[in-house]
Structure 1
Amino acid sequence: MPKSAPTMRLDRYLATVTDYSRSEAKRLIKAGEIAVADRVTTDPGYPVADGDDVSLQGHLLRPPGPRYFMLNKPPGYVCAAKDRRHLTVLDLLDEDNPERLHAAGRLDIDTTGLVLLTDDGQWSHAITSPQRQCWKRYRVGLAEDINDKTVEHFARGVFLKDDKARTLPAELEVLGPREALLSIQEGRYHQVKRMFAAEGNAVVTLHREAIGAIELDDDLDEGAYRPLTKEEIDSV
């Protein structure tokens, strides 16, 4: 059987494509001010399918476009749509239909910093695909002093436990005995922590500062977010 077209509740659709709140959208719908595919409906839950024309008082509304946000992730949140034990990054958003968004490159629950959220699958794939080798920069705090050979080892690539191939060349800038900036091109499971573990060290704090050309906004407090600029979106 063919798959049915994705749908969205009419009141949510209106709140997404206009400045009306959900409650205001419901009042407009019940007042008969909204038509879907040239047919007036007074049901706020009426399903709007992709491609349906929706008009408000005779004026056609644009369909919802893709959304792009940067979030300054605090510790204690997971980069998932739902989690039974923990809050997720979507809980930090004051947006309609947050469940349609996903993280383009996840962070561990105790890792802080830049998370990119979008509902554009192709855009996020360009960030997370191993073939694209999108650079990510992390500020790392360590339990022990950084070994003199670590910069050289990371530049060459290191073997992680249970992995058969070296990591891709990475750039390590030592800021102090136990602090550094690490830029990597891939996103293996717990990669930064495992890279330092391979050097006999342990990561104490981990904060992502940049993904590609997109830098975490210094004005964003922990837990705050903002839409990406066109330049940031186009940089991916």
Structure 2
Amino acid sequence: MLAEKILQTQGFGSKKFCQQLIKEGHVSFNGEICTQLKTQFSTEQLKFTVYGEEFEYQEKVYIALNKSAGFECSHQTTHHHSVFSLFPEYLLNRGIQCVGRLDQDTTGLILLTDDGQFLQASTHPKKHVPKRYRMHTTDRVSDEQINQLTLGVELRNEQGIFAATDVRCLTPNILEMTIHQGVYHQVKRMLAAVGNKVEQLERISIGQLQLQDLDLDENEWRYLNAAQVEAAKMRDET
């Protein structure tokens, strides 16, 4: 692939701007400065630098973010910050999008990608990718409420029964459960349906990808490797 095309695909700007970066000697490939526009490189395991910062060529990017409260999963926000403000321009130029959404007051794991097929497969309601949440509740969680959540509840203006799996109390007011759909405000609405209320909500896993294994501080992000991407796709067999 042409040097300028590599820079373009990795989000570093227009063809003209990438050509200028190369001609001015700001780019190196595999440790050597490249100033010739027509130079070709294999993208397999390719490493390059721009202004001295090192990058690895990635055909598609898969990113995990540990979102804090006060950030919206949208480019156009009104009252809060956008999660996209946490990322460098070269990733925004690649058109990364959130894989699903978290409310501004919900914290925890969210994925972003520029892979349209992965985005569609992960968010399609029929795919049933499990997502696990930990929440603080206003009232103590009763055994009856756990049973109701496990058996399933009806949600206003939604079709079907919405059930959680592996519902567990860590303390009387801290609950964990896994959901397999993804309708609007589902966790909060399910708790309301059994007579309780969510005070704080954190997503702690997607598929088999665990937030605690990623070692991310709030609003910190990292690229996922191939095994982690596959873990995030892991869905129910039922």
TM-score, normalised on structure 1? 0.76
Query: Could you report, residue by residue, the CA deviation over 1:100-147 in whole angstroms, capped at 9, with x for unpaired residues?
Result: 011112100000000100011111222211111110000110000112
Contact 2:134 / 2:202 at 8 angstroms: preserved in 1? yes
Contact 2:96 / 2:112 at 8 angstroms: preserved in 1? yes
The residue number in structure 2 matching 1:93 is: 87
Please give the alpha-carbon distance, in whole angstroms, between the structure 2 residues aligned to 1:61 and 1:83.
40
Please give the alpha-carbon distance, in whole angstroms, between the structure 2 residues aligned to 1:200 and 1:74.
27
The residue number in structure 1 matching 2:40 is: 59
Please give the alpha-carbon distance, in whole angstroms, between the structure 2 residues aligned to 1:15 and 1:132.
30
Q: Does 1:228 align with 2:209?
A: no
Count of equivalent residues: 203
Q: Does 1:110 align with 2:105?
A: yes
Q: Which structure: greater helix fraction? A: 2
Q: Which amino acid aligns with 2:220?
A: A
Structure-2 change in CA distance of 1:95 and 1:229 (3 Å): farther
Q: Does 1:195 align with 2:176?
A: no
Contact 1:79 / 1:106 at 8 angstroms: preserved in 2? yes
Query: How far has the Cα of 1:181 moved from its partner?
Result: 0.7
Gaps spanning 5+ residues in structure 2: where? Answer: 28-35, 44-56, 234-238
Q: How does 1:1-236 map to 2 (within 5 A)?
A: 13-14=7-8, 16=10, 26-29=20-23, 56-60=37-41, 62=43, 65-98=59-92, 100-216=95-211, 217=213, 219-235=215-231, 236=233
Please give the alpha-carbon distance, in whole angstroms, between the structure 2 residues aligned to 1:94 and 1:12.
18
Query: How far has the Cα of 1:13 moved from its partner?
Result: 3.4
Q: Which amino acid aligns with 2:200?
A: T
Query: Could you report, residue by residue, the CA deviation over 1:5-37 in whole angstroms, capped at 9, with x for unpaired residues?
Result: xxxxx699348278xxx9886342478x9xxxx
Q: SS of the residue aligned with 1:59?
A: coil
Task: Calculate the aligned-residue CA RMSD, in Å.
Answer: 2.9
TM-score, normalised on structure 2? 0.75
Query: Could you report, residue by residue, the CA deviation over 1:76-99 in whole angstroms, capped at 9, with x for unpaired residues?
Result: 001113324321111111250415
Please give the alpha-carbon distance, in whole angstroms, between the structure 1 residues aligned to 2:89 and 2:227.
22
Identity of aligned residues (%): 33
